[in-house]
Amino acid sequence: MAREDYEIVIGLETHIELGTKTKIFCNCSTEFGGEPNAHTCPVCLALPGATPVLNEKVVEYAVKAGLATNCTIPEYTWQNRKNYLYPDMSPGYQVSQTEDFICQNGYIEIDTENGPKKIRIYEIHIETDAGKLVHGEYTNSSLVDLNRAGVPLAEIVSEPDLRSSEEVEKYLRSLKAIMEYIGVSDCKMQEGSMRADINLSVRKKGDPKYGNRTEMKNMNSFKFIVKAIEYEALRQIDILEDGGEVPSETVRWDEVSQKTIPMRDKDSAAYRPFPDPELAPIVLTKEYVENIRESLPELPEVRKKRYIEEYGLPEYDSKVITASKHFADLFEGAAKICNNPKAVSNWIMTEIIKVLNDQGLEPADIPFSSSDLGNLIILIDNGTISGGIGKKVLAEMFENPKAPEVIVKEKGWVQISDEGAIKEVVLKVLENNPQSVADYKAGKDKALGFLVGQAMKETRGQGNPGMLNKMFLDELKK
């Protein structure tokens, strides 16, 4: 049988760090970084007698995440201890949920070649992050940093509804956009605030039974996820084609060898989960849930449609822009100011995305406001600067954020639109380039472009290109 005869079946467990200011059971900061163990207290250090108190924001954020992904919220839930010993897990157990989860049975939609597809979400639950071990500072010992211990996480568990690496990427990007929109997580993969465990199996097309699955843990890059899925699917198909059986195990993607490697796994059924006797049950009244539902902001899908209708954006533009809340907010704010939505979307989709990619930044890192972008476009639209200068101003806005009009003024980049000044330049260029004048008059239209280019050089890019063009034509006709 050929590889095309197989279907890949994928379910994801996506961990996102909830963006609360403080940890799940104490008032320690959740800030990234910091001196080792600076963000700790008796509770997250698990000192004798220190009792946890659930941060209400964690519950609120989880319920928001659930409602934004069409989940049902039960009236009553609780937290279980999953018992296991490891030096980064200070109390000797992780507080998590293993049944009657805080969010149940939801879904999100992704775009596929065959139209929109629902990816079901089995459950979302809240749990604690662990600290980390630092190896190699001293010989023969490792150090424990508990700054991350007790940082709240939400784990979003999908049903095995995904069928390809493209679908997985779309699902994760969509989840990321939703979480950003509702403000519960910044989902920064490189900082580890979003990571996914990938459960993958293959089966012959049409086979109703799932195959044995492997789990790839802690994937935190779209690039690696796509590569790992493709490798792992082929590996499993090869095993089946050779008449073998895929072992159900945990594997690790190794970027160096570009392979998945089996790893030892903790037996998750051995966690002995039981309700944390130090924590009170969580009661979620209908009123509480409905208040949160009403407070939910507009979600990406809705905003995409609105931008098409309200701002006349092409569907593709609207999709790219609403895929990130930061882009969408930037777009809408700027469009309101300059009243030129198509120009705003062009600037975001070409120049801004280019700068972000070149510098390896995320939309969240854009250092200027939407009104700055709007004002930049106004400066171009009203002829104060040319589009070319506009790009230089934008680069400066990234480099050294200031209002565009201030940058233009400080740098002396105002476009020259004074007829007398333009004429002076045109005459000078004509005088210095007799050959090009002759070429033009001999019918070589290209020569005009050269002359305009020389004039732009002369004005250091600040000449009004429309005026220069017209003035050259007028003069050459003489």
Partner 1 sequence: MKIVGLRNNICVKNGKMTCGSKMLENFISPYNSTIVERLNTAGVKTENIDMKEFGVVEDNFIQEFFAGNTSNTAIMVDGSGEIARNSVNGLIGIKPTFGAVSRYGVVTVAPSLEQAGVISKDINELKEVFDIIKGYDEKDSASVKEVLENKQSDDIKIGAISEAMNLVNGFTAQKVEITNLKYAKKVACMISSAESSSNLARYDGIKYGHRAENTSTWKEVYTKSRQEGFGYDVKKKMIAGTFFLDRDNMEEYYKRAEKIRTLIKQEVKELFKKVDVIAIPSDSEYTCIANLTGRPAISANGVTLIGNFFEEERLIKLASELTK
Q: Site residues (CB under 8 A) for partner 1?
A: 42, 45-54, 81, 83, 85-87, 90-93, 140, 142, 144, 269-270, 272, 274, 277-280
Shortest spacing between CB 248 and partner 1, in angstroms: 18
Shortest spacing between CB 42 and partner 1, in angstroms: 5
Which strands make up the sheet holding 250-254, listed edge to edge? 103-112, 115-128, 152-158, 6-17, 194-204, 214-219, 250-254, 259-263
Helix, strand or coil for residue 437?
A: helix
Q: Which is nearer to partner 1, 263 or 270 (CB)?
A: 270
Shortest spacing between CB 152 and partner 1, in angstroms: 16
Shortest spacing between CB 283 and partner 1, in angstroms: 13
Q: Which is nearer to partner 1, 50 or 476 (CB)?
A: 50
Contact 12, 225 (CB under 8 A): no
Q: Which is nearer to partner 1, 148 or 176 (CB)?
A: 148
Residue carrying structure tokens 């195990």? 249
Q: Give the number of other CB atoms < 10 A from CB of residue 155.
A: 18
Shortest spacing between CB 23 and partner 1, in angstroms: 14
Contact 250, 218 (CB under 8 A): no
Q: Measuring CA to CA, how many Å separate 46 from each of 73, 93, 149, 150, 296?
A: 31, 10, 10, 10, 35
Q: Which is nearer to partner 1, 280 or 438 (CB)?
A: 280
Q: Which is nearer to partner 1, 147 or 415 (CB)?
A: 147
Residue carrying structure tokens 């910044």? 186
The rounded distance, in Å, linking the Cα atoms of 255 and 239 is 22
Q: Which is nearer to partner 1, 145 or 372 (CB)?
A: 145
Shortest spacing between CB 37 and partner 1, in angstroms: 10
Residue carrying structure tokens 């930037």? 330
Contact 157, 124 (CB under 8 A): yes
